[in-house]
A = this chain, B = another copy of it.
Amino acid sequence: MKLQLQIKMNEDLFLRNPEHTELGRNIIKHSIQLIFQNGFEAFTFKKLAEDIGTTEAGIYRYFENKHLLLIYIIAWYWGWLEYQISFQTNNVTDPVDKLKKVIKLLATTVEDDGKTIYVNESLLHQIVISEGSKAYLTKQVGEDNKHQFFKPYKDLCAVIGDIILECNPKYKYPRSLATTIIEMAHFQNFFMNNLPSLTDFGKNKAESEIILFLNDLVFSSIKKG
């Protein structure tokens, strides 16, 4: 039996549910490819339509604009990652081990596991690194937040915050440390590959070193005493 993962998405993000139709799934699939290749700024619904072999108007029937489409795929990623975390930390009792696992998941390039046919998680991970913060670094962040568009990110942050508290119930900044881990897992990766002198990983360009850095940062902060 082939398992297929379904992420429950916020209905306000789209006009028509892209998961329900062939065209919809193509929109997700090809937008991930195009944003990965050309970046979000150069990405347009016209180019996407051409890539799919449909018309611009066709895309607009699913998404109001490219910003909402970006939020959609980023939110999908956070949902997917939270699932990965709950799956991979299942049966792990030591919260320190759990947190290490989380850091590793955040900082490691994922492989496309084929469990989601129209989403390439590997490309999506790269998009989250380079374009992820553009989802909320806007003037509409307040409006978007009212629609709960960032709930998957917040949920993930809460999950990680709780693991941090399991490690040390007296630690005072579990949420902020959680966002620090998430953002730095991505920024250190971006810097390592694009502006290496901003990091200490320019020589080897190895994700494993980012993990060591984050482990050091996190566990010196939360250790009791």
Contacts and interface: CB of A to CB of B under 8 A. Distances in A.
A89 interface: no
A121 to B, nearest CB: 20
Contact of A180 (B42, B150, B154, B184): B184
Contacts of A173: 200, 213, 216-217
A184 to B, nearest CB: 5
Contacts of A172: 200, 213, 216
Interface residues of A, number: 49
A138 to B, nearest CB: 6
Given A173-B213, A216-B173, A198 B137 contact: no
Which secondary structure dominates chain A's binding surface?
helix
Interface in A201-225: 201, 210, 213, 216-217, 220-221, 223
A223 B217 CA distance: 11
Number of copies: 2
Interface stretch (A10-18, A21-29, A188-196): A188-196
A180 B217 contact: yes
Interface string A167-202: 000001111111110011001101100110111110
A194 B134 contact: no
B200 A153 contact: no
Contact of A137 (B133, B180, B184): B133
Nearest to A156: B198
A199 B179 contact: yes
A223 B153 CA distance: 32
Nearest to A201: B176
A41 interface: yes
Contacts of A180: 180, 184, 188, 217
Contacts of A154: 195, 197-198
